[in-house]
Amino acid sequence: MFADSRQTQPDHQDGGHHSPKSTAVGHRMTTLEQRQEMAAIAYNEVIKHVNSLITRLATAEVTLEDLANSSRRNNIRLRGLLEREGEGNLADTSSPY
């Protein structure tokens, strides 16, 4: 019976109130928890953005490779046509075989 009454009564060492030191520690803990939560949210946003950029980069690489392949397919190769140095019309810079 005596043990039961001790469990239900508040701690009378500090008059039932928190000391300024414990209040400061509690405030710091709350602040740290809030900062940790904000950091976790920011981290998740950064990860989403990085994943989006990875997807965009992969798409750009595929597009670039396709364009490079298309460019090569449209090239005309002339074999046996000798060119002289200089710029100008192909007829002006080519020599007969």
Per-residue pLDDT tens over the stretch 25-52: 999 999 999 999 999 999 999 999 999 9
Q: Which amino acid is at 10?
A: P
- Check whether 15 has a pLDDT greater than 60: no
Model-wide pTM > 0.75: no
Higher-confidence residue of 47 and 15: namely 47
Alpha-helical regions (H) of 1-97: 2-8, 20-73, 90-93
Per-residue pLDDT tens over the stretch 48-87: 999 999 999 999 999 999 998 888 777 777 777 776 666 6
Tokens of 80: 């046996």
